[in-house]
Amino acid sequence: MIRTALSFALALLALVAVSQAIPVDGPIVITAPGTYQITADIVGAGQNAAIEITASDVVLEGDGHALAGTRAREIPGVLVRNDRGTAPANVVIRNLALQEWEVGVHAIGVSHLTIENVTARKNRDHGLYLFSATNSTVRGCRVEANGGSGIVLSDVSLDNRVEANTVTGNLQNGLMLIASDRNRLTGNTVRESGTYGIDCYLTKENVIADNLFFNANNTHVEELDRNSWSLPASDGPNVAGGPRRGGNYWGEPDGGGFSDVTPDADGDGFCDSPFVIHEGNVDERPLKGTGSARPTSTAAPGFGTFAALCSLGALLIGRRR
């Protein structure tokens, strides 16, 4: 009886939250806390972005819609930034697609930001770019075919999590860490990156484990980088379909990656020798997996026929400006 009443109360609260959501059907600057629900695909932008967030305690619910950009303006689709010295915190961006912007989501100086189930594709520079972000999470996103890198943590971004994302076909790097420490990157699939699967520069104490890298060049680290590339062995399955979690799967398109060619004689799911990436950077438990794990293509939120027309409309609008 008590459980039934509690469940009813929680459901009622959820309905109230939805009913109180502020509808968004065009470019907006969000300056007050609340839940903002996008009700249609959006073409065009305001002064700094299609959606600019300067407040804390904001939920931006995309509801599967798209923000279609214009090549005529070098602005992000979503911009989260401080205003008058106050840094936003506890912002959630979810269930949204972004295409044809300079950057899909650009977050500057934020804390406790969550980017979840967001698709960022065909943006001119990075897909998702966190600059001086702390205690934030990027989870379950599809980041593909961007002109820069897929997911970037830059300029003293600390204690963030990048989890279970699919990062494919970005012109530069799949994942990139610049002067950022104590971050945790796990469960990501990174394929077909133009430069590196993951690029590290002046980084330390990051945990980069249980990721599948499948690129012509999987890693780049600098002399002073010191990161952990594996976790203690635990039951799987791992990101590559093997029986145990530990390090990363290191594959290459030509089949010559470390995990592709290194044997697993005892069948424990790990290669029989560690993978030395660079001095101070060793994957102690590189995954063997199946050697053929690839993410299955799924429909990206918001990129249906209507969104394609929106994108075309945005290009026409940009040419008139």
Region label for 155, one of left (φ > 0), alpha (ψ between -120 and 50) or beta (otherwise): left
User: What are the sequence ranges of the domains in the chain?
Assistant: 37-229+315-320
Number of other CB atoms surrounding residue 161 within 10 Å: 17
Tokens of 44: 């065009």
b/e code 249-264 from CB counts within 10 Å (16+ = b): bbbbeeeebbbbebeb
Structure tokens that stand for 36 in this block: 């903002």
Q: Rounded distance, CA 282 to CA 261, Å?
A: 17
Q: Which DSSP helix (H) or strand (E) runs through 308?
A: helix 305-320
Tell me, what's the pLDDT at 160?
98
The closest alpha carbon to 159, from 175, 141, 137, belongs to: 137
Ordered per-residue pLDDT tens for the chain, 321 residues: 555 555 555 554 444 444 589 999 999 999 999 999 999 999 989 999 999 999 999 999 999 999 999 776 899 999 999 887 788 999 999 999 999 999 999 999 999 999 999 999 999 999 999 999 999 999 999 999 999 999 999 999 999 999 999 999 999 999 999 999 999 999 999 999 999 999 999 999 999 999 999 999 999 999 889 999 999 999 989 999 888 999 999 999 999 999 999 999 998 899 999 999 998 899 999 999 764 444 333 344 554 433 433 443 433 333 333
Q: Are 272 and 265 in contact (CB under 8 A)?
A: yes
- The DSSP call for residue 146 is -
Q: Which of 96, 61, 58, 56 is nearest to 76 (CA)?
A: 96
Predicted model pTM: 0.86
Q: Given 3.40.50.300, 3.40.50.1000, 2.160.20.10, 3.20.20.10, which CATH number is that of 37-229+315-320?
A: 2.160.20.10
DSSP for 52-103 reads EE-SSSEEEEEEEEEEE--TTS---SEEE--BTTBPPBSEEEEEEEEESSS-
Q: Order of strands across the sheet with 51-53?
A: 28-30, 51-53, 78-80, 105-108, 128-131, 151-154, 175-178, 198-201, 219-220
